[in-house]
Amino acid sequence: MRKKIVAGNWKMNKTLPEAEQLIKELLNKINTEQKVEVIIAPAFVNLPLAVELTQNSDIEVAAQNMHFEDAGAYTGEVSADMLKAIGVEQVILGHSERRAYFNETDEVLKKKAHKAYEKSMTNIFCVGEQLDDRKAGKHFDVVKSQLQKALFDLPLQAYKKIIIAYEPVWAIGTGETATPEQAQEMHAFIRETLAKKYGQDLANNVRILYGGSVKPGNAADIFSQPDVDGGLIGGASLKAGDFDAIVEAAKKL
C-alpha cells in the first residue's frame, strides 16, 4: 500500500520570523504516527531554518525550485548541490506557476528532472491542464505530453525518487476544486500512462498527489480515491491548524 503524502508549498510567503513561528506550531501539532509522509516547502531563504527546526521530527523539507546547472553565471538561481549542502533532499519541479510566470518549458523541466535524478534528489514533479484545455477536452493530452517530454527518457530506477503532483491549473488559488471523481480519473490516467511506458509494477508504486485548493473540508473525500496518494497543499499549508487537519484526514485513510 502506498503511504500518503501531505506536502505544503508555501510559495512566496512567510518572513524568517513568520516561518519559524509556523514551523514550531506544526511541530507541536503534527504527529504522523508514521502513517503519512509530511513535507513543507518554504522559500529559499527559510530553508536552513526549516531543516534545523525539523531535525528528528515527522516533517521533511523540500525546495520550491532549482536550476539544472551545478554552478555558473545564473544570477538568482540555486543549484542542487547548494540545496543538498544545507540538508534539503527534495524539490518541487514544474509547478504551474513556474511554467506560467517564468516560462519554464518542458525542455527546461526535462533538464531539471535529469539533474534531480543525477543528484539523487526526490522530485515532486507537477503536471496539469489549464481551464481552456479541460473545456476543449484536451486535458488528458496535455498531461500526457508534460509527462512524456520531461520524464520519459529517465530510467525506470529514477522513479524511486519521483512523486507526481497533478494540479489542474484552474483549481489553484481559485477556491475551485476538481471533484474527487475528476481527480481520480486523471490520477488513474497518469498511472495508466506510466504503466504503458515503464510497466504496471512501477505505475502501481509511484505516488500521485492532487494539488488544487485542498482544504480540511474536502481532503478526506479527495484522498480516499484509490489513485490519489495525498496532496500538494498551497494556501491551507500556511495555517498550522488547517495543515494539521489535512494530515489527520490522510492518517485516517
pLDDT at 22: 98
Decide: 178 and 210 in contact? Cβ < 8 Å: yes
Active-site annotation, residues? 95, 167
When the pLDDT of each residue in the chain is averaged and rounded to a whole number, the result is 96
pLDDT at 173: 73
Phi, psi of 5 (to 5 degrees): -125, 135
pLDDT, mean of residues 156-169: 97
pTM score, two decimals? 0.97
Can you list the domains of the chain with their CATH numbers? 4-251 (3.20.20.70)
In eight-state DSSP terms, residue 157 is G
Is pLDDT at 96 greater than 90 in this prediction?
Answer: yes
Decide: 59 and 26 in contact? Cβ < 8 Å: yes
> Looking at the DSSP assignment, which residues form a beta bridge with residue 40?
8, 61
Q: Which residue has the cell 481532503?
A: 219
Note the pLDDT tens digit of each residue in 169-208.
988 777 777 899 999 999 999 999 999 999 999 999 999 9
